[in-house]
Chain A
Amino acid sequence: MISVLLVEDDLQLAKIVKKILESKDYKVVLVEDGLKAVDEIKSKHFDLYLIDINIPNISGLEVVKYVRELYSDGFIVMITASVDEYYFEKAYEYGCDDYIKKPFHATELEVRIQRLLEKQKSFSFDDYEFSFEDDELFKNGERVPLRKKEKRLLHILLKNVNRTVHNQKIIDYVWEGEKKTNYPLRQLVNELRKKLDKDYIKTVVGIGYRFEVED
């Protein structure tokens, strides 16, 4: 069952959104302000975050930032008014995945969530398709042989496509908590680069790596 954190201060709106999502078999946690949202986020990871941009105590934007600081996966959808264009530019920068403009239909909300969840299953770029379910990479339908660690590296980079991923975060994910004095991350990245047609992986010196794909 897919878990949803709904952050919405208008109770009526929150109630009906919750009702609709629950009718579609989502598990929904509802909070009315930023502070409570942060508490929830701290204690638990959700598959989907539905955040009104304009909420009390801590702003929607700050909440987005907070989510992304803790988790690289999980989709974030902002609920916004059309006039708040400036904010959702910022919101994208902080790592939100989509937005929905008030007023909206139930189907619109469903379609957007559905699209994101579809996206979660695989990622396509140029001739390639990467499946997040079994970490396999296909080029024009043909499997590209990758080592296990390369697959995990590609997984975390593509999850955060076009965003810089910190070295420590990559290490934690690829080596799955394995304790080592030295992690050969740079070597691993170079090996992966050789197996791809283009130089997709950009080094952000001293910080981490970014997988760059043109929209």
Chain B
Amino acid sequence: MKWKIRLQKDFLILFLIAFVSIILYLQYLYSKKNLIERFKSEEFAKTIQIRDKFKSVLNNAELIFKSKLDENLKALNSLYLLYSNMNKFDVDKAAEILNKEYKDEGYYEVFVIDRNYKIIKASYKPDLGLDLGRFPKYRKVFEAVFSGKKKIDVSYLIFDYSSFTLKRYFLILSPDKKYLLQLAYVVNIYSKLRDIYYKLLNRYRDLNDIKLYFMDKYLIYPVNFKQRFQPKKPLEEAMDETAAILIGLLKDVGEYDKYAKMIENRRKCMIFEHLSTIVLQLFYSHNNILSKLNLNKHKYITYTLIEGFFKNFSNRLIIKNDFSTYILEKDIETIRNRFLIVLFSLGILALFMKFLVYYMSSKIKELVIHMKENRPVEKTNSYIKEFDDLAEAYNEYRKRLNEEIEKNKNLLMENRRFIVDTVHQLKTPLSIITLNSDFLKMQIKDKNIEETLNEIEAAIAMLTNSYEDLSYLAAEKTVEYKPVELNLSDIVKQRVEFFTPLAKARNKNIVTDIDEGIIYKINKVEFERLVDNNISNAIDYSKGKEIKVSLKKSDNGFVLRVESFGEKIKEPQKLFEKNYREHTHKRGLGIGLNIVKKICDKYGIEYKVISKEGKNIFEYVFKS
């Protein structure tokens, strides 16, 4: 039972620690999740801010065109006049003059287009020699201006992603009606975007990089802020690049698996036909912001989309923000460390508790061992005052107890010595009385006196029995009663003979039924005590006349039985206890049957009391 309790206690503590640990761990997970959510929402806000910044550049550009329209027309007029005034029209000179005159956010480029719709002069050299007649849309416009149907043509805003410039073209027939004069008002968005790009990188310290991609219906073009003008790539290469960017995007936001099959089959050009559909669908289903946290790569990547700027819904700008997660990770590490420290402290605390309990229990154990061995505890400093007090109290108590025990021992010894002395003192007078009474009986044949002598002899038998009991007890501790082989039949007969005068005096008659030649290894004094006490009890307490003493052989030994008629014995099992008396009105030593019990226990003799039908039977089974 004890070990079970201890086990349960340990188990309980373990369970408690586990429970607290789990709570702490959940708390840690919750804090971590909160941190991440907060981080994400912060970066989300930044992402939106970044998008707005870039969008504002685009909006601003559009606004410039709106506000400068009048001035642009004035510039066109100036170009017209310049053409008239110049002997030999120089486009570079004309552009220089116009740009000087109308200095603002944008600048002007000047082109001369002939009747074949070919650019024959251009201040913007890459366009020189370009055959615009290939584009039927343009031809229609050119024709209208040449024919004078339309005096001035103002084009839509045209975005040139390769130079990242926004342009508006103005057309007017030259004064000599030979050519078309084309004025382009150009606003450079690239530099503005680049300014914003660096500003943002500066402002947001955890921003690793921003990447812009321009996307039209079929292709994606990366914006390079390091180098403005890129050599024009062949279509095949541009397609590869587009595919790479798309794959990168899908992987960044964890959506690659969904489209993997489609992309692997890109040779069929499926991807390019559906490019905008795929990308837009992706953005629309995510509220226009795509994001993915990858703590392993220490990155949080977000994508936003700006679309439909410059009045053209197929103009799309994808912004990729690459945030560093180091701060988040640092915060997570901090709370994780805090969690581990608390857990560790808890472990230390538990160990300390365990140690404390162990220490205390070992102190108690030590004390208990001392108690068991009845030794005083040495003066020690156990760091726990109560223990020292307890040890001291124990020492004091032990000392007093031992003194008491010693005193009692002495008292007991005195008592025993008194009994021994008494026994010794009684021995000789008892012998003298016995022998003198015997002698008298031999000498005197008078009937009256003989009766008196019988009474004396009966009293002597009683006295002798008590004397022998006392003598046995007195010698018990000092004498070893050695067993020898005895003829019990003879001894029982002799004891009956010894008690016969007493029985007669008490008006009782002892009948015997004794099998001859029963031999048993037992001490004579002890066997006599057993028999004597049973016979003398029967004489003392029986109510009937007849007392039967029998010694009979049985299957595996023999049985001694003393039977008499008397009151029912109330508690047969208690009879053999020391100082127990059934008949409280009769005084006796109350040791006789206790001596019998001791002897029975010593030799393994079974004893039993049967009290029924007015008969009391004391039965002793000797096994051979």
Interface positions of A (Cβ within 8 A of B):
10, 12-13, 16-17, 19-20, 23, 81-83, 85-86, 102-107
Q: Which residues of A contact B589 (CB under 8 A)?
A: none
Given contacts A13-B428, A16-B439, A19-B439, contact A103 B434 (CB under 8 A): yes
Given contacts A82-B468, A82-B471, A85-B479, contact A102 B438 (CB under 8 A): no
Give the A-B pair count, Cβ closer than 8 A.
Answer: 67
Q: Which residues of A contact B468 (CB under 8 A)?
A: 82
Q: Are A103 and B464 in contact (CB under 8 A)?
A: yes
Q: Which residues of B contact A106 (CB under 8 A)?
A: 434-435, 438-439, 442
Q: How many residues of B contact A (CB 8 A)?
A: 30
Cα A118 to Cα B354 in complex, Å, equals 86
Those 10 A-B pairs whose CB atoms lie nearest each other, nearest first: A106-B438, A103-B431, A103-B430, A83-B475, A16-B435, A102-B431, A102-B427, A85-B479, A12-B432, A103-B434
B100 at the A/B interface (Cβ < 8 Å)? no
Cα A62 to Cα B263 in complex, Å, equals 131
Given contacts A81-B424, A83-B474, A103-B467, contact A20 B434 (CB under 8 A): no
Q: Are A105 and B434 in contact (CB under 8 A)?
A: yes
B478 at the A/B interface (Cβ < 8 Å)? yes
B41 at the A/B interface (Cβ < 8 Å)? no
Interface positions of B (Cβ within 8 A of A):
420, 423-424, 427-428, 430-436, 438-439, 442-443, 464, 467-468, 471-472, 474-475, 478-482, 498, 525
Q: Which residues of A contact B467 (CB under 8 A)?
A: 103
Q: Are B428 and A10 in contact (CB under 8 A)?
A: yes
Q: Are A102 and B428 in contact (CB under 8 A)?
A: yes
- Can you pick out 22 interface pairs between chain A and chain B where the beta carbons lie within 8 Å of each other? A10-B428, A10-B432, A12-B428, A12-B432, A13-B431, A16-B435, A20-B439, A20-B442, A23-B439, A23-B442, A23-B443, A83-B474, A83-B475, A83-B479, A86-B479, A103-B430, A103-B433, A103-B464, A104-B431, A104-B434, A105-B438, A106-B438
Q: Are B525 and A82 in contact (CB under 8 A)?
A: yes
Given contacts A82-B475, A83-B471, A83-B478, contact A16 B427 (CB under 8 A): no
Q: Which residues of A contact B525 (CB under 8 A)?
A: 82
Min CB–CB distance B524 → chain A (angstroms) = 9
Min CB–CB distance B460 → chain A (angstroms) = 8
Cα A211 to Cα B150 in complex, Å, equals 173
Q: Which residues of A contact B428 (CB under 8 A)?
A: 10, 12-13, 102
Cα A19 to Cα B471 in complex, Å, equals 28
Q: Which residues of A contact B424 (CB under 8 A)?
A: 81, 83
Across the two chains, which residue of chain A brings its CB closest to B474?
A83
Cα A107 to Cα B468 in complex, Å, equals 19
Q: Are A81 and B435 in contact (CB under 8 A)?
A: no
Q: Are A107 and B438 in contact (CB under 8 A)?
A: yes
Across the two chains, which residue of chain B brings its CB closest to A17?
B435
Q: Which residues of A contact B482 (CB under 8 A)?
A: 85
Cα A36 to Cα B478 in complex, Å, equals 32
Q: Which residues of B contact A20 (CB under 8 A)?
A: 435, 438-439, 442
Min CB–CB distance B502 → chain A (angstroms) = 13
Q: Which residues of A contact B436 (CB under 8 A)?
A: 16
